[in-house]
Structure 1
Amino acid sequence: MNLMDIFGYSSEQKFKEDFSTQEKCLMWIADKKWENGFVCRSCGHTNFCKGSQPYSRRCTKCKKSESATANTLFHRCRLPLPQAFSILHQICENPEASTRQIADKTDVRAMTCWSLKNKMHEKYDEGGIDAIFGRNLK
């Protein structure tokens, strides 16, 4: 498993700049999630309009909304997205690092790091990078 495919950043400083705010993270997630186009999970329609939440999309046929984080690794993530991205970047940089080491670097509880790391591995095993980003999977 090549986890660097998720972010593709080698410079930690560049990574921190690009994912410093909730909005930047949401924009990146939406771009990755729908890079092959939007497909409604309810009816399969491909036309959409802007949803009520930032970077969400609303099907023009059935009117169902889908947030950028829905069905992705970040679905129901209670951490601020920049903090979650920081943890995932640490995991991708050093997959063998313990959750305690990651927790020390990111100032997050070890159990939180373990949970996110475990969720990432489960999503990856479910369907690779596409499952992590929730790309048109039912």
Structure 2
Amino acid sequence: MESFKGESIIDFFNTFKTDLDCLEYLASIKWKGDFRCSKCNHTKFTIRKLNFARDCNLCHHVESPTANTIFHKVKFGTRKAFGIVFEMSATTKSLSSSQMAKRYSISRPTAWLFMHKVRSAMHSSELNPVVGTVYVDEFVYGGKENLKQGRSNNTKKKKIVAAVELDEKGGVKRAYFKRIDDYSSDELGKIFQSHISPEAKIKTDKWTGYKPLKKQYNIEQIKSNTSDFFQINTIIHQVKAWLRSTYSWMHEQNIEKYLDEYSYRLNRSIHKQSIFNNLIIKMMNQNHIGLQKIKISI
């Protein structure tokens, strides 16, 4: 089955008209290479037309296209699940779980749980650290906004550090975010360890928390009120506006998941034609996640 490409929701639902269409799509991804029975390693099989499952010719173990993937035990229909994945990846802003629940006629807790499963696949592999020019800055989200300058220690606000990579023309290439507990070098160092190469040219403001990181990273500290910080300030403004306009509330332990969603779309904005298919592949390569693994209750 050919990979779906495009951003049109009409084309999307014309391609995936039934749950069976979606299962066929998942099967074509899961068994793109050679089939090997998970029980006996036999390579010969029969396809069950009812759901495109593989029936091992030797031990007759039957494996569905969704088994051992994030789509495992999706009880509201694969087509609805595909629709949610499409809207979370190919659209600009996605929807809240309440809106998604109404859109696909499922309960809000069901939408919330599945959307967090999708976000788990949106999490960066952290295998391609930034090696070019990157700006790092922190911001807070939540609680009452004020115009006071400096770093807020308000416990009601969620503290986040951002890293924005620029391309050769000064445009945004990639952006990553990490939730932090405070502004110490240990906490700020989380985003360096996950996403920034020691070879990168890094610019931060003059906060003392960055100074210990200079031992390992190429950091230049400059005043944050200069035009150099325009792009990262724009991204921070956009992500805060997106969070406010889409989600009424989120638990502090979950905010990084929402930021992963934002990063996933932003970092692939020039590949929107294939972003849905790429996310489906990531979901197929990730094991089933239950509510207990999400940790934070609804």
| Of 92, 104, 107, the match for 2:89 | 92
Deviation string 1:23-71 (CA, Å, 9 cap, x unpaired) is 2111111111111221211122222122484311112232211112211
Whose strand fraction is larger, Structure 1's or Structure 2's?
2
Task: Give the gaps of 5 or more residues in structure 1.
Answer: 1-5
TM superposition shift of 1:17: 0.8
Moved more, 63-72 or 93-102: 93-102
Alignment correspondent of 2:34: 37
Identity %: 29
Moved more, 104-113 or 64-73: 104-113
Q: Which has the higher contact order (CA 8 A, sep 6+)?
A: 1
SS of residue matched to 2:46 = strand
| Of 1, 5, 9, the match for 2:6 | 9
Question: Partner letter of residue 72 of structure 1?
Answer: T
| Of 75, 85, 89, the match for 2:72 | 75
- The within-5 A match list for 1:59-74 is 59-74=56-71
Moved more, 69-78 or 94-103: 94-103
1:106 and 2:104 are equivalent in the alignment: yes
Task: Give the gaps of 5 or more residues in structure 2.
Answer: 126-278, 287-298
Alignment correspondent of 2:15: 18
TM superposition shift of 1:129: 5.8
Counterpart Cα distance in 1 of 2:280 and 2:105 = 27
TM-score normalised to the size of structure 1? 0.75
Question: Partner letter of residue 132 of structure 1?
Answer: M
- How many residue pairs align between the two structures? 130
Counterpart Cα distance in 2 of 1:52 and 1:83 = 21
Alignment correspondent of 2:114: 116
Whose helix fraction is larger, Structure 1's or Structure 2's?
1
| Of 124, 128, 132, the match for 2:283 | 132
SS of residue matched to 1:31 = helix
TM superposition shift of 1:97: 3.5
Counterpart Cα distance in 2 of 1:104 and 1:44 = 43
TM superposition shift of 1:78: 0.6
